[in-house]
A and B are shown apart, each in its own frame.
Chain A
Amino acid sequence: MEVVVGQPRRRRWANLLEERRFLAPALISPAVIFMVVVVGVPLGWAIYLSFTDAIGGSLSGRWVGIDNFTNVWHDQNFRNALENTLIITGASQVIVVVGAAILSHFLVREFRGKWIFRFLILLPWAAPVSLAVLGWQWILDSLFSVLNWTLAQLHLVSSLNPPQWLGETNLALLAIIFVHAWRILPFAVVIFIAGRASIPTEVEDAAKIDGASALKKLWYIDLPLQLPIALVAVLFGIVFTAADLTVVFVLTHGGPFNSTQVLTTWAFQVGIESGSLGQGAAISLYLFPLLALVSVLMLFFARRAQVS
């Protein structure tokens, strides 16, 4: 009896699993549900917290409307952090794009020792960020900086009063910009190489036959065809730089005197170290419009890149 009842039911299940309309959502939904739980819910929670006066240790607080957002906006440290975030992100990405455009152009060629060069170039991307930044901290050390030693040998700086790379605001910002550019560059190079690989060889051949000069080829063929993927690399770079906490946290810890704080480290300082959870959430949410804009642009270019 039971076998007879069980048989058609099992077959129905099996048929259901063959059905695309059913199988696709069945395979995708576990991943989506997981992401809703560990990303969607905390994100919603962060937004909720930003409208409350929650303090460390509690998950909720009194509803205060947009007070957190206006209060932090009028705080000089926040303004400073916002400005630093924009400067660091913008400046480092300019270096990254120029560097990646040049380096990827040469790195697609075949040459002897390519494997070892590629290994050296990939190191900053592969190394854990917090550890790589410690390396920079040692390079820029106040007493035994190898950079200062070298500059002093070249008579560019005085060895008695060398620049304090991490102790003066502008120099520290410069160091942060450079470290960000340094760690994102390999990734951008890889994306650029991927973009070059996707240019159909017919186009190259046609240009060659037409006798286009290298410069013309670069301007009329390589650049336009690479633009979408270059923009993707830039958008990635913006997100990875603007949303990064590690570099500033380890390199300067926001110092000297909070002058190199960025939005993420300032949110950490206020939200975790000072315990004003609501305000911290509000500070980190100021990043959200930037990230949303970048995401929309990325969707747009991903679609365009696909069409072409």
Chain B
Amino acid sequence: MPFAWPRGVGWRKVSTYLVVGPFAIVLAFPFYWMLTTMFKSDSDLYTAGHTPYTFNHPDGSIGWPWQTGTTSHLSFLFHQTQYPTWVVNTLLVGLAVVAITLVFALPAGYALARLAGGWGQTAGVGIFLVYLVPPTLLFLPLSRLIAQLGLQDTLWSLILVYPSFTIPFATWLLMGFFKTIPLELEDAALVDGCSRLKALVRIVFPISLPGILTVVIFAFSLCVNEFIYAFTFTSSTGERTISAGVPNELIVGDVYHWQALMAACLIPAVPLALLYNTFLDRFIKGFTGGAFR
């Protein structure tokens, strides 16, 4: 007799959890690991007999985080290291780059979606391919260029260079969003005597606000993510961003303050993932609206 799944319990539902669950566990495990590590005392963390997944009493028995955990490493991170400065630097660079990106990418994305006609699609893909030129091909000459301009070891070097990957990325996404806006809306404005630029600013941009916000978030996160430029162009502790500062400044020689390190790694990841999750559907829409559909 073939196996019959009991009525009422959807096999479809169960199979979903059976697949999605393990994937989620593996993908999120390092972050769970960061979370438990950051609150552990040294004696708990570095005792071989202790269960690493949980918090332990000195005798090795399992305890609750509020019994044996400590926030001292968190306060070390925020008071004894330059971490807060790096967070501020990262925000400054990210916001400046996003602003520059929008200035260049908004008009370009709109023109490619609406005005350029047949070659707009090809040009759009061409611009997107620029995004795929990796920093590893560019950082050798760029580092010399930055030095020549006297920008080495300043946040300005990053603000100048990061748009090289955010502009193509943002132009591509914006092109996709603008294509989803009905033509009639603009035409109505044009008929009413609006100039094209006015229609763009008054009608198109406000309707596209969710799409523009999506671009802002993903372009910002590209800046937070970037490592190699931040590592080579800035060197003094006060000018680092988190992605270069944490691996290079918090590890002193062979001394790893693992609790503080893990806190430093987890803190930026959570808000970014929340934003990604919130804007994911829009991202998919813009990404496929561009050409891959």
Contacts and interface: CB of A to CB of B under 8 A. Distances in A.
B215 interface: no
B125 A299 contact: yes
Contact of A28 (B108, B142, B242, B272): B108
Given A31-B167, A42-B141, A122 B280 contact: yes
Interface stretch (A67-75, A169-177, A186-194, A215-223): A186-194
Contacts of B91: none
Nearest to A243: B134
Given A28-B116, A127-B268, A288-B137, A103 B246 contact: no
Given A121-B24, A132-B269, A306-B293, A127 B31 contact: yes
Contacts of A103: 19-20, 23
A38 B160 CA distance: 8
B196 interface: yes
A136 B227 contact: no
Contact of A17 (B13, B195, B247, B293): B195
Interface string B154-167: 00000011011001
B115 A128 contact: no
B207 interface: no
A120 B17 CA distance: 14
A109 B16 contact: yes
Interface string B4-35: 00000000110111011101111111110110
Which of B15, B37, B115, B264 has the most C-beta atoms of chain A within 10 angstroms of its own C-beta? Answer: B115
Contacts of B26: 182
Given A109-B16, A111-B13, A277 B140 contact: yes
A106 B19 contact: yes
A280 to B, nearest CB: 6
B262 A135 contact: yes
Interface in B108-123: 108, 110-112, 115-117, 120-121, 123
Interface stretch (A1-9, A86-94, A138-146, A203-211): A138-146
Contacts of A299: 125, 129
The secondary-structure label for the interface of chain A is helix
Interface stretch (B56-64, B67-75, B143-151, B181-189): B143-151
A291 B132 CA distance: 8
Interface in A159-206: 182, 185-186, 190-191, 193-195, 197-198
B292 interface: yes
B258 A138 contact: yes
A30 B104 contact: yes
The secondary-structure label for the interface of chain B is helix
A134 B15 contact: no
Nearest to A19: B196
A129 B283 CA distance: 20
A287 B19 contact: no
Interface in A95-118: 99, 102-103, 106-107, 109, 111, 115, 117-118
B211 interface: no
Interface string B252-281: 000010100110110011001111110010
Instruction: Report the contact-size class of chain A (Cβ under 8 Å from the partner).
Output: 35 or more
A151 interface: no
Nearest to A48: B141
A47 B120 CA distance: 29
Given A42-B138, A131-B243, A136-B30, A18 B195 contact: yes
Nearest to B232: A272
B66 interface: no
A306 B292 contact: yes
Contacts of A239: 132, 134
Interface in B67-115: 103-105, 107-108, 110-112, 115
Contacts of A32: 108, 127
Contacts of B116: 24, 28
A238 to B, nearest CB: 10
Contact of B284 (A34, A131, A138, A194): A194
Given A27-B111, A31-B127, A58-B144, 20 more contacts: A27-B110, A35-B127, A35-B164, A42-B137, A103-B23, A111-B13, A111-B20, A117-B20, A124-B30, A128-B265, A130-B247, A138-B261, A144-B48, A185-B27, A186-B27, A198-B293, A271-B140, A280-B140, A294-B132, A299-B129
Interface of B: 12-13, 15-17, 19-21, 23-31, 33-34, 37, 45-46, 48, 52-53, 103-105, 107-108, 110-112, 115-117, 120-121, 123, 125, 127, 129-130, 132-138, 140-145, 148, 160-161, 163-164, 167-168, 171, 195-197, 221, 224-225, 227-228, 232, 242-244, 246-247, 256, 258, 261-262, 264-265, 268-269, 272-277, 280, 283-284, 287-288, 291-293
Interface of A: 14, 17-18, 20, 23-28, 30-32, 34-35, 38-39, 41-43, 45-46, 49, 58-59, 99, 102-103, 106-107, 109, 111, 115, 117-136, 138-139, 144, 146, 149, 182, 185-186, 190-191, 193-195, 197-198, 228-229, 232, 239, 243-246, 249-250, 263-264, 267-268, 271-272, 277, 280-281, 284-285, 287-288, 291, 294-295, 298-299, 302-303, 305-306
17 contacts: A17-B197, A18-B195, A28-B112, A28-B123, A42-B138, A45-B141, A121-B24, A126-B276, A128-B225, A128-B243, A130-B243, A134-B246, A138-B37, A139-B30, A195-B292, A243-B137, A303-B291
